[in-house]
Amino acid sequence: MILKRFPPMGVYETLFRFADATGKYMGDAGTHPWAQGYPLTTQIPGGPTLPTSIEFDHLDLKYPKATGEPPLLQAIADYYNYFYDAGITTDNIAVFAGGRPAIFATLAFLLDDTTVALESTEYTPYYDILNVLNRNVHLIQSNAENRFRPAAKDYDIAPRAGTSRVMLVKSNPCNPTGVTLDGAELKQLVEKFSASDKGALIDEAYEFFCDPEPESALRHIDDIDATNIFVIGAATKGLQVPGMRIGWAVAAKQHIEIFRNYSSFGMGGVSRASQIYVTGLLQRKRVAQSRDAISKFYTGQRNRYAKGLRDLGFELFTGNGGFYHWGRLPQGLTGNEFNERLFEHEAGILPGHLCDMGRTDADGSTLDNFARFSFGPLSADSFAADIEFLRQCLSCVHAFVCPASVGPLRSCRTKGVHNSGARNFRSAWRARIFALAQC
Ligand SMILES: Cc1ncc(COP(=O)(O)O)c(C=O)c1O
């Protein structure tokens, strides 16, 4: 073995566990993909249809341009200039094969003497990327005590020893919490990280999924060329096409040039077919309809599921963005314990500890009793069945409660009362991951 070893990112851990336990891929027909971070890929109420074909000719079979094809770059620039008065040109945009490659490239090419600051509850791949790149990290506490809403002063961060600048990495809306900075708060954050010894990667994968309307940091940046700010967008969520693998970075021209150079030796550009498809999705009238419909539909879903989950005993901390609910599980359950029950019924949530940016292999996580519930892929008509199903899984857990004590799910299990099949799957899976992690 000549490669560095590392485990898959958190969401995939859950998907592998699910596949081991059920023999299916989460998202297959009949499964309940509540751990999954993808949106509906079909027309939503009030939204535009999703094209099922594209046209291209032999010229489109040539290599794509290093940082993106001109029509897509123009469509992205027009989009931000129209909706957010961003004042950018096509030279401020680099196209990648999805949001994560844009995030990875930005963090990979940071100068070494940079502190990377991020909230302690964040999007799972940040943890993997920062570990693999061995970045010097400062964690901003985001936990139940501050309701996963750090105060403005928590972003006043000094560079760590041996570094001379600070780069903030923040998903906004936040995955998993849905907490979203907008208006004056977002403006203040952008201003703070526009200073010359600072930078920020603002990950706006869920830009359309905001209540009352989509929001972008680009609304508050007057001259992006004078900043070290990177706004990352993608067609993955709002435009409903995760399979197209198109994402982008909007940044100062000098930073885009670095991405262009990288593309020339490390990426070779991005599929022209996908770029053609996404260019069509960004046409003004269509994208305006999409923004509006996504924001309304998912706000409705967020509100319904909030009530449903609260009635079941979840303590929710969810903000007003994204397509997840974030909360503490009822009955003292951990995310992994709840998944064992759910997997038996081909359902699963994302255990909270996978969003803990400070976790270590040795210790438990303060987010062990938290879970991220995704309503992204759920159609409007599955609500009643979903909630009923969750209720049954929770009362099923109740049925195993020992009369002698409260919250004794674990002790019941140790007596072999509960779910030995799933336990065997789990140990087999653990053995596999340990083999991965420890060699
Ligand atoms: C916070 C956040 N950023 C970025 C992405 C982009 O993902 P992709 O690489 O699939 O475009 C996602 C998708 O889950 C996300 O949740």
Q: What are the two backbone dihedrals, phi and then psi, of residue 103, each rounded to the nearest 5 degrees?
A: -65, -45
Q: Which two tokens stand for residue 65?
A: 């341009």
Is 2 a member of any domain?
A: no
What pLDDT digit, counting tens, does each position of 143-182 carry? 999 999 999 999 999 999 999 999 999 999 999 999 999 9
Is 31 a member of any domain?
A: yes
Whether residue 398 has pLDDT greater than 80? no
Is 3 a member of any domain?
A: no
Residue at a domain's end among 226, 253, 287: 287
**pLDDT of amino acid 364:** 85
Task: Report yes or no: 150 and 141 within 8 Å, Cβ to Cβ.
Answer: yes
Q: Which protein residue has the closest C-alpha to ligand 1 atom 12?
A: 205
One domain, residues 197 and 80: yes
Q: CA 117, CA 382: separation in Å to the nearest integer?
A: 39
**pLDDT of amino acid 30:** 85
CATH code of residue 195: 3.40.640.10
**DSSP conformation letters of 289-316:** HHHHHHHHHHHHHHHHHHHHHHHTT-EE
**DSSP conformation letters of 164-209:** -EEEEEEESS-TTT-----HHHHHHHHHHTTSTTEEEEEE-TTTTS
Q: Which atom in ligand 1 lies closest to the alpha carbon of residue 123?
A: 1
Query: 332 C-alpha vs ligand 1 centroid, how far in Å?
Result: 30
Q: Which protein residue has the closest C-alpha to ligand 1 atom 2?
A: 205
Is 293 a member of any domain?
A: no
- Confidence label for 16 from pLDDT (cuts 50, 70 and 90): confident
What pLDDT digit, counting tens, does each position of 186-233 carry? 999 999 999 999 999 999 999 999 999 999 999 999 999 999 999 999
Task: Give the pairing of strands 229-234 and 198-203.
Answer: parallel
Q: Which atom in ligand 1 lies closest to the alpha carbon of residue 100?
A: 9
**pLDDT of amino acid 246:** 98
**pLDDT of amino acid 243:** 98
The pLDDT mean for the chain works out to 90
What letter represents residue 347's amino acid? A
Query: 206 C-alpha vs ligand 1 centroid, how far in Å?
Result: 8
Residue at a domain's end among 224, 253, 287: 287
Q: CA 418, CA 412: separation in Å to the nearest integer?
A: 7
- Give the contacts of 82 (CB within 8 A, at least 6 positions apart): 284
Span 234-250, average pLDDT: 98
What pLDDT digit, counting tens, does each position of 116-152 carry? 999 999 999 999 999 999 999 999 999 999 999 999 9
Q: CA 395, CA 376: separation in Å to the nearest integer?
A: 25
One domain, residues 112 and 88: yes
Question: Is the beta carbon of 37 within 6 A of some atom in ligand 1?
Answer: yes
Residue at a domain's end among 268, 287, 306: 287
Q: CA 95, CA 66: separation in Å to the nearest integer?
A: 8
CATH code of residue 319: 3.90.1150.10
The preferred substitution site among 41, 100, 202, 271 for testing ligand 1, maximizing ligand atoms within 8 Å of CB, is: 100
One domain, residues 265 and 308: no
What pLDDT digit, counting tens, does each position of 251-304 carry? 999 999 999 999 999 999 999 999 999 999 999 999 999 999 999 999 999 999
One domain, residues 193 and 266: yes
Query: 205 C-alpha vs ligand 1 centroid, how far in Å?
Result: 6
Q: CA 229, CA 414: separation in Å to the nearest integer?
A: 51
Question: Is the beta carbon of 175 within 6 A of some atom in ligand 1?
Answer: yes
One domain, residues 189 and 79: yes
Q: CA 157, CA 167: separation in Å to the nearest integer?
A: 10
What letter represents residue 135's amino acid? R
Is 207 a member of any domain?
A: yes
Query: 124 C-alpha vs ligand 1 centroid, how far in Å?
Result: 10
Is 4 a member of any domain?
A: no
Query: 401 C-alpha vs ligand 1 centroid, how far in Å?
Result: 38
Q: Which protein residue has the closest C-alpha to ligand 1 atom 15?
A: 205
The DSSP output letter for 344 is: T
Task: Tell me the β-bridge partners of 234.
Answer: 247
Residues of the domain holding 263: 58-287
One domain, residues 18 and 135: no
Is 256 a member of any domain?
A: yes
One domain, residues 317 and 433: yes
One domain, residues 79 and 27: no
Single pTM value for the model: 0.90
Instruction: Tell the burial category of 80 from Cβ atoms under 10 Å away from its Cβ (0-12, 13-18, 19+).
Output: buried
Whether residue 435 has pLDDT greater than 60? no
One domain, residues 189 and 323: no
**Window from 3-7, 44-48, 252-256, 324-328 with minimum mean pLDDT:** 3-7
Q: CA 340, CA 303: separation in Å to the nearest integer?
A: 27
Query: 424 C-alpha vs ligand 1 centroid, how far in Å?
Result: 32
Query: 1 C-alpha vs ligand 1 centroid, how far in Å?
Result: 30
One domain, residues 117 and 14: no
One domain, residues 329 and 407: yes
Task: Report yes or no: 432 and 19 within 8 Å, Cβ to Cβ.
Answer: no
The preferred substitution site among 103, 129, 175 for testing ligand 1, maximizing ligand atoms within 8 Å of CB, is: 175
One domain, residues 310 and 220: no
What pLDDT digit, counting tens, does each position of 68-116 carry? 999 999 999 999 999 999 999 999 999 999 999 999 999 999 999 999 9
Whether residue 412 has pLDDT greater than 80? no
The domain tally of the chain equals 2
What pLDDT digit, counting tens, does each position of 294-352 carry? 999 999 999 999 999 999 999 999 999 999 999 999 999 999 999 999 998 889 999 99
Is 233 a member of any domain?
A: yes
